[in-house]
Amino acid sequence: MEEGAVVLTLSDRSGYVYAPQGLTMEQIDLIMAHKDSGQTLATYVHPDVTFQGGTPWKTVIADGYFPCATQNEVTKQDAEIMATHATLVVEGANMPLTNEAIKVLADAKIPHAPGKASNAGGVAVSGLEMVQNASHYPWTRDRVEAELQTIMETIHATVATDGKTEWGIDYVRGANIAGAKRVFLAMEKLGW
C-alpha cells in the first residue's frame, strides 16, 4: 500500500474478505484485531467489505496475487485463472503453488516469485536475531528493518540477474540458479 498497491482481499481458512474499492489501512487493522481475537474472517462484519467462501484467486480479478496458503493449495486450474489477468504472482508461504501451477505461469510468461526467494524474510530475520544474540547487543527495530531491506533487495537483484530471459525475469529459474551457485561456492570453500 505504501507503494500505491490496492489491496482487494485478505483470506484465511474460512474464505476471504473483499473490498472492490480496496481495503484501507484502518480496515486492515480492524481485520488484524479481529483475527488476533481468535476469530475467522467468516465472522468479520464491515459495511464496505464482503465475505466469500473459497479462495480469492478463483473469482477476484487482480494484477497481482500473493498466495500465503498451505503447501500445494494453488492448483493448475487456479493458475490458469490467475494467468488470464495477473502480471505477477508472489508466494508468501512455502510452496503454495503446485508444480503444475508453476508451469502454467511459466508458459504464460507471468513472473512468479517462488517462496524460497520472496518468503526469505522470515529466515533472514532469524539470522539477524542470531547475530544479535551472539554479539549480546540488541538492535533497534529500525536497524533490523534496514538490514532486512538490504537482504531482500540483494536476493531480488541476484535472482533477477540469474533469471533473465528474452521475455523478462523467470524468478523460479533465477532462484534455482542463485541457490545452486551458493551451494557450489560453499562446497568449493570446503574443498569438495
| pLDDT value of residue 161 | 94
| pLDDT value of residue 61 | 93
- Within-domain flag for 30: no
Segments forming the whole domain that contains residue 178: 119-192
| pLDDT value of residue 93 | 85
- What does the alpha-carbon distance between residue 46 and residue 190 come to, in Å, rounded to a whole number? 58
Residue 15 pairs in a beta bridge with 12
- Within-domain flag for 63: no
Low-confidence ranges of the chain (pLDDT < 70): none
- What does the alpha-carbon distance between residue 155 and residue 167 come to, in Å, rounded to a whole number? 20
Q: Which residues contact 19 (CB under 8 A, 6 or more apart)?
A: 7, 8, 9, 27, 48, 49, 50
- Within-domain flag for 82: no
| pLDDT value of residue 60 | 94
* Helices 141-162 & 121-135 angle (0-180, nearest 10): 130
Q: Look up residue 89 and give its DSSP letter.
A: E
Residue 74 pairs in a beta bridge with 97
- Within-domain flag for 158: yes
- Within-domain flag for 131: yes
- Within-domain flag for 8: no
Strands (E) across the chain are located at: 9-12, 15-18, 50-52, 64-65, 88-90, 112-113
Number of domains in the chain: 1
Please state the pTM of the whole predicted model. Answer: 0.81
